Amino acid sequence: MSRVNSGKISNGQSHAPADQTGGEPSHRQSHRSIVGILIPPGQLVSSSLFRGRVTESVSVPMNPGMAILEMFHQAVGQFVPATELRRVLKESGGKVTTEIAELERLGYTIESHPHFGYRLLGGPDRLTADDIKARFKAGVIGAEILVFEETASTNDVVDHLGKSGAREGLVVFAESQTKGRGRLGRAWASPRRKGLWFSVLLRPKLASSAASRLTVAASVAVARTIRQRCGVNARIKWPNDVMVNGRKLAGILVETKSGAAPRSSGPVDYLILGIGIDVNCVAADFPPAVAEIATSIRIETGRDQDRLALAADLLKALDESYQMALTDFEAVADEWARLCSTLGGQIAVTLGRRRVEGFAQALDADGALLLRKDNGQIERILGGELAVERA
């Protein structure tokens, strides 16, 4: 089931016909076209491009609410003169007082001063595509963002859109997932508004055998961003976990779609990068099975985190890491090695029924782990079906 989140930034001055704006779901609407695909009514939450069909995205102007938010975020808590806001709104066709009132209605706290102008004091803890986009300049990843209030799994939504030809870089967030999944068929708990649960559609020119590079790139981006923004000692546990103090904080699930037979080295058709980060979860949010091994940024820092700011930083970092993984994987692998707690130690890897022990030596050019066994042989291990523990 997918449900609509109405927390979009809009004053209804649409540049597109009402039934294409992606605004409040309406029983008059039969379907809405996103990335050229018909999505059943009630599914879409908040698209950064709700002013028009996504296929028209490049020419869609920034909406007034988003333009104001962008200025507020750039001013980082300082006042923005009303004249500045008026100048920007002239381009997007809005009126300052109307737009400010609309933002307040949506839950933003804004201080106004007769001389200094306006400043943003706080916003709702609610993911909206516009607010995330207003915080960073998107490259490939994040050029288009969709947010669902609830969906089964964001990986499935991206798979569906990917199959139908959606553009590379599409990001789908959900405030909660009813069937979030992790590696090895495990369930992934995704409590409402407590984390960042999202998936990215990628279409790299890469052989399937090198898809692990992207898990490596994503774990670097996630670990680095959490370290920088939240000040926690996030470390990567190969192949796909981000850990703090021995407990899991985030997980990455890469699913590769290719026309070629499974495990062949044919080209990737598209790839779904699913990321789950326990941001503001408290102990009671974790299912009993993982309560002992899971943690959240809130638990580690003792304070609630701004999920929107973290989301924006993450998308920026993911984009940089992704481009690097395609052009200079060695640089990504070097940073990975610095952040990784698995390398340089004796580990045991479970591959289905087989258990291999050895010294975790390095990554190879495909992102596979090179394990030096006691007999001196090097075993090359690709992520996907492995459990890793210290031997």
Binding site for ligand BTN (CB under 6 A): 153-155, 177, 180-183, 186, 188, 190, 197-199, 240-241, 251-253, 274-276
Q: How far is the CB of 167 from ligand BTN (least distance, A)?
A: 19
Q: How far is the CB of 182 from ligand BTN (least distance, A)?
A: 3
Residue 9, helix vs strand vs coil: coil
Which of the 8 DSSP states describes residue 318?
A: H
Q: How far is the CB of 289 from ligand BTN (least distance, A)?
A: 13
Shortest-Cβ-distance residue relative to ligand BTN = 251
> Between helices 212-230 and 329-339, what is the axis angle to 10°?
50
Q: How far is the CB of 365 from ligand BTN (least distance, A)?
A: 24
Report yes or no: 323 and 218 within 8 Å, Cβ to Cβ.
Answer: no
Q: How far is the CB of 191 from ligand BTN (least distance, A)?
A: 12
Q: Which is nearer to ligand BTN, 85 or 275 (CB)?
A: 275
Q: Which is nearer to ligand BTN, 179 or 390 (CB)?
A: 179
Report yes or no: 170 and 138 within 8 Å, Cβ to Cβ.
Answer: no
Q: How far is the CB of 197 from ligand BTN (least distance, A)?
A: 4
Residue 214, helix vs strand vs coil: helix
> Largest alpha-carbon pair distance within the chain?
77
Taking the C-alpha atoms of residue 91 and residue 66, their distance in angstroms, rounded to an integer, is: 12
Q: Which is nearer to ligand BTN, 155 or 342 (CB)?
A: 155
Alpha carbons within 13 angstroms on the beta-carbon side of residue 220 total 27
CA distances from 252 to 44, 145, 181, 273 (A): 24, 19, 10, 7
The kind and range of the H/E element at 278 are: strand 270-278
Q: Which is nearer to ligand BTN, 46 or 240 (CB)?
A: 240
User: Which residue in the block uniquely carries the two structure tokens 């996504």?
Assistant: 54
User: Which residue in the block uniquely carries the two structure tokens 């961003």?
Assistant: 225
Residues in contact with 260: Cβ distance below 8 Å, sequence separation at least 6, in sequence order = 208, 266, 267
Q: Which is nearer to ligand BTN, 67 or 299 (CB)?
A: 299
Q: How far is the CB of 342 from ligand BTN (least distance, A)?
A: 14
Q: Which is nearer to ligand BTN, 197 or 336 (CB)?
A: 197
Q: How far is the CB of 368 from ligand BTN (least distance, A)?
A: 18
Angle at 184 between CA 179 and CA 185, to 5 degrees: 30
Q: Which is nearer to ligand BTN, 252 or 347 (CB)?
A: 252
Report yes or no: 266 and 211 within 8 Å, Cβ to Cβ.
Answer: no
Q: How far is the CB of 379 from ligand BTN (least distance, A)?
A: 22
Taking the C-alpha atoms of residue 387 and residue 366, their distance in angstroms, rounded to an integer, is: 19
Q: Which is nearer to ligand BTN, 100 or 236 (CB)?
A: 236
- Give the pair of three-digit tokens for residue 254: 């890469």
- Give the pair of three-digit tokens for residue 291: 């309560």
Q: Which is nearer to ligand BTN, 253 or 279 (CB)?
A: 253
